[in-house]
Structure 1
Amino acid sequence: MKKKFIYDILVNLLSSSLPLITLQLVAMPLIARQETPQDYGIIIVLISILTLISFPLGNVLNNIRLIKNDYYSKYDKVEDFQFLGISSSFFAILVFVNVWVFGGFEIAPVNIILQTLILISLLLKDYWIVEFRIKLNFLGLLINNILLSFGYLLGIGLYYISGYWEIIYLSGILLACLHIFNSTKIWKEPLSKSISFKSTFQDFIKLYIAGLLKNLINYADKILLLPLLGPISVAIYFTATIVGKILSMVFSPISSVILSYLTRSKGISNALFFKGFLIALVTMLLGYISTVFLSPFILNILYPEWAEESLKIIYITTAAIYISILSSLFQPFNLRYNKMNWQVYMSISTLFIFIISALLLTPYYGLYGYSNALLISNSFYFVFQFVVFLRREK
């Protein structure tokens, strides 16, 4: 079991790193060279908005299905999730329409259609891949992400031909969805509600609110920067976080593997957890040093226009990101052994601290102050997750 657990983590790390590397180190730098600095900043904000709307919905459906799968499978009633998936899609479209109507974005009809397709396909893909997690089929996830990455590469060629950056994302996501259609049956499940729908829906709402609020910090940092400091500052800040964010997203699948296994376990001792946490802490410290050391070389190659300014805040943004990674290691345990209400409390208080800190520090210290606001809020979230874990229902 231990060997398989380690194997699954390594496979999942490789699986998640491929599309991230393709997007962040290949696609985004190419887009940056093709677009003006102002347009590139707007594109980053739009991508953040799409991810902010779709990811919490798809990821929460994924986690709720994983947590409740044993119960539903016992009674052979799983239709609630398909209903939630379709309902979430309509909700996502409604939110997105309001964003581009009231957000003041000048978006052409073709771009709106393409971005809506990205929104829905990304949401459903993030949910449908739960079948791989339920079956602990992390090799299937790897194949899916290889195809996702290959689709991004195809999309880069289509972007040069069409001029629409959305094609890059859409090509990858649709190719990954085709693999899901061919490899799973989850998308064929019936569309209706069972007697357990109310309870499941309540848990979904709680976890969604918590996930949305937490992701507001992860993605709204760039959205909030746009009105505060303008699109070029968005590009500089994005550049300063790119290496750390890649490593953050690579390490985050560890939480997915942990939660997949925890749904089959009855408990965990503090001693065992802290042994694992100590290993993670040492790994994060090495990762932080590596990120700070490698960033000047990587950023000067990929983003020479913004590298100098970005490197001024790299120490702060990288620290904030790695603290966030450590927090994510507590989350699957708190999801499994504590009430979901705690996720809402943690996310609300963390978002509040982030917004207040950003509004107080940014006007006086610019990007430096904004980066410190992120560090403060992420540190608070880490401490909160840690305390809740210690008082878990054993």
Structure 2
Amino acid sequence: MQNKKKFFTDIIKNTLAYGIYMVALHIFMMPFLSKKLDPEINAQFILYIMISNIITISLGNELGILHQILTGREMGKRTLPDIRYALNVTSIVLSIFMFVTLIILRFSLIASLILSFTAVLTNFRLFIVCYLQLRMDFKAIITGNILFLCGVILSLIFLNYVVLIFWLPIFLAEIFSALFYRYSAGEFFVIKPGKTGEFRKVVKEYFELISSTLLTTIPNYADKIMVLPLLGDVMLNAYYAGSVISNLLFVIINPINGVILAWLSKYNISDAKTIINNHIKVNFIIIVLVFCLNIPAIYLMTRFLYKKYLSIVLTIIIPLALNSTFSIASSLLRMVYLRYLALNRIKFFNLIHLACFVLFSVFGSKYFGVAGFAFGAAFSKFVLWLLYLYSLLKVRKA
């Protein structure tokens, strides 16, 4: 790979940027709200976070990934008007969808309006981060996430000493970062949104990515969503608390994923067999290391941040560790798959993943409670990892 030193430097910079964001969300904001809010209101806010993440990752983040993929095919510049147009349309659709959803979930009118707008800002941020990654502008990403952290901290100080408004931290944080990212990616906004001759092809591939990502992110977040109707708000809070370490581990994994795809796209690395072979070897090492680190990490983080839920988390610590491990392993394999194999096959993997998740988690919760639910979710993640591994092994042997 060209310029290995720069490659690893980019990973470190991107890890720092993503780490700042995750610390703001999972070390400061969510534990603070968990302590201050009633379990029912906190569970409601967690539900919003999960729904927003599912939609914005599938729309904004995947649009940014599509731009990276198109750039790798030397189509990036001429399809920018299409990308800009798609970003505008998804923002409108997202705002309407989130507002209606939050009203149905019995959020207040003001909270529904504010949080719908916040979701649009999140969608914008996720796209711009991918855009800046492709330009290797990690300094801008780091600065934007520092501003996100500042927004969270200022809000928490206000909430602690003045009045408790549960949506203020996420809203102010997204405002701060969005304003900066708008400035940092100014050249993107010079381009007028429109439809080029490649528009239909862009839309087709975008929908392929959206559908496959929805089928990935729904099980990733739906485990927390489904805990609420199946096991109640206390179990949702406990399950979310135990999942914090999984989210924090993506401080390392997501930046690696982003840089891997950006490098494979920008520098057009075509030696697929060598890349796949090395990636699979590293993947097995990562599985062992992550699982061994996960168990003590889950215990310590829960004890430190969510102590009142520790007794429940201890009963599901093994499946939580397995879920996190194979979630990380499959996400790493997916990046190489995205670069070298057909995108439309991913949706079939994710359909199998989703079917396994629904079947085993619902069955497990019915007969074994939260432990059965957690093992069912972990098994579905293992199945997804096997599907990616099998497909890449076939390419390696071809």
Question: CA–CA distance in 2 between the matches of 1:327 and 1:321?
Answer: 10
- Residue 180 (str. 1) matches residue 188 (str. 2): no
Between the aligned residues of both structures, percent identity stands at 20
2:107 maps to 107
SS of the residue corresponding to residue 193 of structure 1 reads coil
Write out per-residue CA displacement over residues 340-362 of structure 1, whole angstroms, 9 at most, x where no aligned residue: 11111111111111011112111
CA 221–77 in structure 1, closer or farther in 2 if over 3 Å, else same: closer
Write out per-residue CA displacement over residues 88-127 of structure 1, whole angstroms, 9 at most, x where no aligned residue: 112212322342344xx22111111110111100101111
CA 73–366 in structure 1, closer or farther in 2 if over 3 Å, else same: closer
The question of whether the paired residues in 2 share the 8 Å contact of 1:158 and 1:167 is answered with: no
2:213 maps to 211
SS of the residue corresponding to residue 307 of structure 2 reads coil
Write out per-residue CA displacement over residues 222-244 of structure 1, whole angstroms, 9 at most, x where no aligned residue: 11111111111100111111112
- Residue 309 (str. 1) matches residue 312 (str. 2): yes
SS of the residue corresponding to residue 71 of structure 1 reads coil
SS of the residue corresponding to residue 213 of structure 2 reads helix
1:201 maps to 203
SS of the residue corresponding to residue 305 of structure 1 reads helix
Shift of 1:269: 4.8
The question of whether the paired residues in 1 share the 8 Å contact of 2:215 and 2:351 is answered with: yes
2:139 maps to 139
Stretch of structure 1 that moved more, 118-127 or 35-44: 35-44
Shift of 1:328: 0.9
SS of the residue corresponding to residue 379 of structure 1 reads helix
Question: CA–CA distance in 2 between the matches of 1:137 and 1:54?
Answer: 22
Q: What are the residue-to-residue correspondences of 1:229-248 with 2, within 5 Å?
A: 229-248=231-250
CA 37–15 in structure 1, closer or farther in 2 if over 3 Å, else same: same
2:62 maps to 60
- The equivalent position to 1:7 in structure 2, one of 9, 17, 41, is 9
- Residue 321 (str. 1) matches residue 324 (str. 2): yes
Question: CA–CA distance in 2 between the matches of 1:139 and 1:284?
Answer: 30
- Residue 170 (str. 1) matches residue 171 (str. 2): yes
Question: CA–CA distance in 1 between the matches of 2:214 and 2:356?
Answer: 16
- Residue 156 (str. 1) matches residue 159 (str. 2): no
Question: CA–CA distance in 2 between the matches of 1:277 and 1:252?
Answer: 17
CA 106–8 in structure 1, closer or farther in 2 if over 3 Å, else same: same
The question of whether the paired residues in 2 share the 8 Å contact of 1:353 and 1:377 is answered with: yes
Question: CA–CA distance in 1 between the matches of 2:208 and 2:326?
Answer: 24
Shift of 1:42: 1.8
- TM-score normalized with structure 2 length: 0.93
SS of the residue corresponding to residue 391 of structure 1 reads helix
SS of the residue corresponding to residue 376 of structure 2 reads helix
The question of whether the paired residues in 2 share the 8 Å contact of 1:9 and 1:257 is answered with: yes
Write out per-residue CA displacement over residues 31-87 of structure 1, whole angstroms, 9 at most, x where no aligned residue: 01111122212221121111112221011100111111363455x452111110111
1:51 maps to 53
One-letter amino acid of the counterpart of residue 60, structure 1: E
1:80 maps to 82
CA 205–302 in structure 1, closer or farther in 2 if over 3 Å, else same: same
Shift of 1:157: 2.3
Write out per-residue CA displacement over residues 138-178 of structure 1, whole angstroms, 9 at most, x where no aligned residue: 23222222222222212222333342222111222121112
Shift of 1:249: 4.2
Question: CA–CA distance in 1 between the matches of 2:389 and 2:170?
Answer: 36
One-letter amino acid of the counterpart of residue 349, structure 2: M
Shift of 1:201: 0.1
The question of whether the paired residues in 2 share the 8 Å contact of 1:128 and 1:186 is answered with: no
The question of whether the paired residues in 2 share the 8 Å contact of 1:12 and 1:138 is answered with: yes
One-letter amino acid of the counterpart of residue 180, structure 1: Y
1:27 maps to 29
Q: What are the residue-to-residue correspondences of 1:361-372 with 2, within 5 Å?
A: 361-372=364-375
SS of the residue corresponding to residue 271 of structure 2 reads coil
Stretch of structure 1 that moved more, 162-171 or 208-217: 162-171
1:287 maps to 290
One-letter amino acid of the counterpart of residue 207, structure 1: L
Shift of 1:316: 1.1
What is the aligned residue count? Answer: 391
Write out per-residue CA displacement over residues 293-347 of structure 1, whole angstroms, 9 at most, x where no aligned residue: 2333332232121111112111211111111101111111111111111111111
Q: What are the residue-to-residue correspondences of 1:81-100 with 2, within 5 Å?
A: 81-100=83-102
Question: CA–CA distance in 2 between the matches of 1:249 and 1:348?
Answer: 27
RMSD, aligned CA: 1.9
2:191 maps to 189
The question of whether the paired residues in 2 share the 8 Å contact of 1:317 and 1:375 is answered with: yes
Question: CA–CA distance in 1 between the matches of 2:123 and 2:395?
Answer: 31
Write out per-residue CA displacement over residues 264-309 of structure 1, whole angstroms, 9 at most, x where no aligned residue: 2242354554444434433443333233123333322321211111
The question of whether the paired residues in 1 share the 8 Å contact of 2:279 and 2:333 is answered with: no
The question of whether the paired residues in 2 share the 8 Å contact of 1:53 and 1:96 is answered with: no
SS of the residue corresponding to residue 306 of structure 1 reads helix
Question: CA–CA distance in 2 between the matches of 1:341 and 1:287?
Answer: 30
The question of whether the paired residues in 1 share the 8 Å contact of 2:357 and 2:377 is answered with: yes
SS of the residue corresponding to residue 332 of structure 1 reads helix
Question: CA–CA distance in 2 between the matches of 1:71 and 1:274?
Answer: 26
